């Protein structure tokens, strides 16, 4: 661990951080407090009024959370969300890591163009892709009589939604990882090549361990995005009892009645729990000096 980084955590630093944190927390605090209030009160008075009399137990309730967790096959939805989120995170990261390494450290024709194309695809709004992809899943595609995409009937299957999420997450993943991998000291890679390692070994044994902070960062983002996603899940998996994921189950809790603050806030917190756990557990990978050691070694 370095010394210099910890030298100046003075009052200015601590104060600024505290202020920013409070500002950032404030909206969430409102949501948290509201999620514990009974329906009638949540709809008629501001949440801060509860803080003046925090021990008045009549104004708190666990009913909202009970309603959310009991609702609509929640356990099933939780399992479905996991079944979607885990592979839909691992797949894009893996593909992107390999591609990022290739774009950074391998020589081949057209790599600049390909990379820019991949990154440019970040701008494509995924809604534009939904109908074409659904048609592909449902009937395959032919070009001049040749089957270009086999008719796999992927609609409503996990593989279908994994592929969709992978595609939507690849541009950003490749972009982030290439930036990181490309900035690794070239001396490491050169010396590994001299030792006779091929690209695959360099990648798996050297690059991946060194890229852990970037991989961890992207894992978090992609997991969060997939976990919180509603649209893609609904289009490719559907909203039936077997297939629905957590976000859909919770949306069906309050429908179009956007004024059900008590339910919506409880639902928002329930969905947050797991992604936050993922975030906290991956936090320890954001460690200073990972590459410093490598340079010396």
Site for another protein in 113-142 (CB under 8 A): 114-116, 118-125, 127-139
Among 8, 11, 56, 146, binds another protein (CB under 8 A): 8
The answer to whether residue 291 forms part of the interface with another protein (CB under 8 A) is yes
Least distance (Å) from another protein to the CB of residue 60? 17
| Residue span 231-250 as binding mask against another protein, x where in contact by CB under 8 A, dash where not | ---xx--xxxxx----x---
Which residues between 259 and 288 bind another protein (CB under 8 A)? Answer: 259-261, 264-265, 267-268, 271-272, 275-276, 279-280, 283, 286-288
Q: Which residue has the tokens 């490598």?
A: 294
The answer to whether residue 21 forms part of the interface with another protein (CB under 8 A) is yes
Among 70, 186, 191, 193, binds another protein (CB under 8 A): 186
- CB closer to another protein, 62 vs 124: 124
The answer to whether residue 151 forms part of the interface with another protein (CB under 8 A) is yes
Among 52, 196, 256, 297, binds another protein (CB under 8 A): 256
The answer to whether residue 66 forms part of the interface with another protein (CB under 8 A) is no
Among 54, 191, 252, 281, binds another protein (CB under 8 A): 252
Which residues between 77 and 96 bind another protein (CB under 8 A)? Answer: 79-80, 82-83, 86-88, 90-91, 94-96
The answer to whether residue 292 forms part of the interface with another protein (CB under 8 A) is yes
């Amino acid at each position: 661990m370095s010394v210099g980084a910890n030298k100046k955590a003075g009052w200015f630093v601590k104060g600024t951080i505290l202020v920013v944190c409070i500002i950032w927390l404030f909206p969430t605090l409102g949501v948290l407090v509201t999620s514990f209030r009974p329906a009638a009160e949540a709809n008629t008075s501001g949440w801060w009024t509860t803080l003046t009399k925090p021990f008045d137990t009549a104004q708190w309730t666990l009913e909202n959370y009970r309603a959310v967790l009991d609702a609509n096959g929640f356990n099933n939805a939780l399992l479905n969300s996991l079944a979607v989120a885990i592979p839909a995170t691992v797949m894009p990261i893996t593909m992107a890591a390999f591609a990022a390494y290739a774009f950074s450290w391998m020589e081949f024709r057209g790599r600049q163009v390909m990379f820019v194309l991949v990154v440019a695809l970040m701008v494509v709004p995924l809604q534009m892709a939904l109908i074409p992809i659904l048609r592909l899943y449902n009937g395959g595609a032919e070009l001049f009589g040749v089957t270009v995409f086999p008719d796999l009937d992927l609609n409503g299957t996990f593989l279908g939604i994994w592929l969709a999420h992978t595609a939507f997450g690849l541009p950003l993943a490749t972009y982030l990882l290439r930036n990181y991998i490309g900035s690794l000291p070239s001396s490491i890679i050169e010396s590994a090549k001299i030792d006779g390692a091929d690209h695959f070994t360099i990648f798996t044994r050297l690059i991946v361990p060194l890229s852990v902070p970037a991989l961890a960062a992207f894992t978090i983002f992609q997991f969060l995005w997939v976990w919180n996603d509603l649209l893609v899940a609904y289009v490719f998996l559907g909203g039936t009892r077997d297939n629905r994921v957590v976000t859909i189950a919770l949306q069906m809790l309050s429908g179009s009645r956007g004024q059900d603050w008590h339910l919506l806030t409880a639902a928002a917190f329930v969905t947050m729990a797991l992604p936050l756990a993922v975030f906290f557990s991956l936090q320890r990978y954001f460690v200073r000096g990972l590459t410093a050691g490598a340079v010396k070694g």
